[in-house]
Amino acid sequence: MTPSTNHPPPFGKIGVLLVNLGTPEGTSYWPMRRYLAEFLSDRRVIETSPALWLPVLHLMVLSSRPTQKGKDYQAIWNHERDEGPLKTVTRSQTEKLAARLAPLGDRLAFDWAMRYGKPSIAEKILALQAEGCDRLLVAPLYPQYCAATSATVADKTFDALKQMRWQPTLRIAAPFFDRPAYIDALAASLRDQLSQLAFKPDKIVVSWHGIPKDYSEKGDPYFCHCSKTTRLLGESTGLRDKMLMTFQSQFGPKEWLQPYTLATVQGLPAQGARNVVVIAPGFFADCLETLEELGGENRHAFLEAGGENFAVVPCLNDSREAIDVLEDIVRTETAGWI
Ligand SMILES: C=CC1=C(C)c2cc3[nH]c(cc4nc(cc5[nH]c(cc1n2)c(C)c5CCC(=O)O)C(CCC(=O)O)=C4C)c(C)c3C=C
Ligand SMILES: [Fe+2]
Ligand SMILES: [Fe+2]
């Protein structure tokens, strides 16, 4: 058989694909429903047997949650681009990373994808391959490993590769919860935020997205990774004695990792802590959980409980420090390739 005229396909480049969680395509019922249906059907996210969970998801959760959460997304939506902030920030991180690493030459190609919704991991892998990437670094933008986030990015990547004749050589970046570049970036952003405040915090709440407690008991290292980042951030800033580690965003009736952020901030004024700063180091980009849940719901609950000052430290987003972290990841994980 003679090879076709476009044979061989282009090759020789290295693709770097940054992946974050995903966000709905719009805030009205159907886009919200599609997003939540995809997210909450992922067995890495909800580990309950599908026979028990799917009827609850389709008959109960997906009838009310899309409208409720659509309102929350509306409050944080990037109306100019008509997209969730997670997309806006991830795109900008990718562009700034590409500019930062331009001196390494045009063998590197950068792109971004979302685990749920668009742009998908599969379409971006195919686009990178079409550009000539026969090596691929997938970097999940979760500093702390969790099966519900990091592993599901790997699963989706493997699913895409299963469909390919010429698979790129694959690396998946390691979690970076204790890498000095990441701790330095968090410490700089906390110090910078504190220096801009008109008050001194009595407590610094280090809030993490929660997971069901049994995921942790089954061996997920997430809790240990969060604990280590919290400790290193406390040591690096000298603020360890003021810090409280908490978990937010509970979903469903199960017990999740404790203490809960909302109950903690509600209880602080009664304990004499009326000035509070919250930092959420597990989120590499601002999103619903930081802008609305921490900056809206938790702030409101704290002030209602008698608190006076409440500030949320912005996520690293597309700051210079965030790009330092991404540069460190790419340089480390492509060792031997460039
Ligand atoms: C059982 C459900 C969930 C688990 C487990 C879970 C883990 C988890 N999630 C993040 C990061 C994000 N989650 C976000 C939103 C979000 N999370 C869940 C459920 C679980 N998450 C839901 C249903 C939602 C959607 C909103 C809602 O309906 O409450 C987001 C924000 C996305 C955005 O568009 O802004 C992020 C980011 C981590 C890091 C994590 C485990 C460590
Ligand atoms: Fe979540
Ligand atoms: Fe939430």
Most ligand 1 atoms within 8 A of CB, residue of 86, 289, 315 to mutate: 289
Summarize pLDDT for 88-128 with one digit per residue, the tens.
Answer: 999 999 999 999 999 999 999 999 999 999 999 999 999 99
Most ligand 1 atoms within 8 A of CB, residue of 209, 224, 248, 254 to mutate: 209
Identify the nearest ligand to the CA of 211 by its number.
Answer: 1
Which class for 159: exposed (0-12), middle (13-18), buried (19 or more C-beta within 10 A)? exposed
In three-state form (DSSP H/G/I as H, E/B as E, the rest C), the secondary structure along 113-170 is EEEECCCCHHHHHHHHHHCCEEEEEEEECCCCCCHHHHHHHHHHHHHHHHCCCCCCEE
Residue 300 labeled ligand binder: no
What is the pLDDT at residue 9?
Answer: 81
Summarize pLDDT for 231-270 with one digit per residue, the tens.
Answer: 999 999 999 999 999 999 999 999 999 999 999 999 999 9
Compute, in angstroms, the gap from residue 248 CA to the centroid of ligand 3: 7
For the stretch 44-53, contacts whose Cβ atoms lie closer than 8 Å and that sit 24 or more positions apart, written own/partner, are 44/147, 44/148, 44/151, 44/152, 44/155, 45/148, 45/152, 47/212, 47/214, 47/215
Summarize pLDDT for 27-73 with one digit per residue, the tens.
Answer: 999 999 999 999 999 999 999 999 999 999 999 999 999 999 999 99
Provide the residues around ligand 3 (an ion) whose CB is within 5 A.
Answer: 249, 289, 293
CA distance 146 to 217: 13
Is 45's C-beta closer than 6 angstroms to any atom of ligand 1? yes
What is the pLDDT at residue 7?
Answer: 75
Identify the nearest ligand to the CA of 148 by its number.
Answer: 1
| Closest residue by CA, ligand 1 atom 25 | 36
Q: What proportion of the chain, given as a percentage, has pLDDT over 90?
A: 97
For the chain, what are the domain ranges?
Answer: 13-176+323-333, 180-312
Q: Minimal CA–CA distance to 42: which of 25, 32, 57, 27?
A: 57
* Residue whose tokens read 């971006």: 124
Confidence of residue 8 (pLDDT cuts 50, 70, 90): confident
Is 53's C-beta closer than 6 angstroms to any atom of ligand 1? no
Confidence of residue 294 (pLDDT cuts 50, 70, 90): very high
Residue 1 has pLDDT above 60, yes or no: no
| Closest residue by CA, ligand 1 atom 9 | 209
Identify the nearest ligand to the CA of 260 by its number.
Answer: 3
Which neighbouring-strand residues pair with 247?
208, 260
CA distance 279 to 283: 10
Is 77's C-beta closer than 6 angstroms to any atom of ligand 1? no
Is 46's C-beta closer than 6 angstroms to any atom of ligand 1? yes
Residue 58 labeled ligand binder: no
Compute, in angstroms, the gap from residue 204 CA to the centroid of ligand 2: 22
Is 142's C-beta closer than 6 angstroms to any atom of ligand 1? yes
Same fold, 13-176+323-333 and 180-312: yes
What is the pLDDT at residue 46?
Answer: 98
Is 84's C-beta closer than 6 angstroms to any atom of ligand 1? yes
CA dihedral of 122, 126, 129, 134, whole degrees rounded to 10: 30
Residue 184 has pLDDT above 80, yes or no: yes
ipTM: 0.95
Residue with more model confidence, 185 or 7: 185
CATH number of 13-176+323-333: 3.40.50.1400
Most ligand 1 atoms within 8 A of CB, residue of 114, 288, 293, 317 to mutate: 288
What is the pLDDT at residue 163?
Answer: 97
CA distance 113 to 117: 9
Residue 195 has pLDDT above 90, yes or no: yes
Q: What proportion of the chain, given as a percentage, has pLDDT over 70?
A: 98
Contact 308, 273 (CB under 8 A): no
What is the pLDDT at residue 5?
Answer: 61
Helix H or strand E encompassing 39: helix 29-40
Confidence of residue 3 (pLDDT cuts 50, 70, 90): low
CA distance 261 to 287: 17
Helix H or strand E encompassing 230: helix 222-237
Fold of 180-312: Rossmann fold (3.40.50)
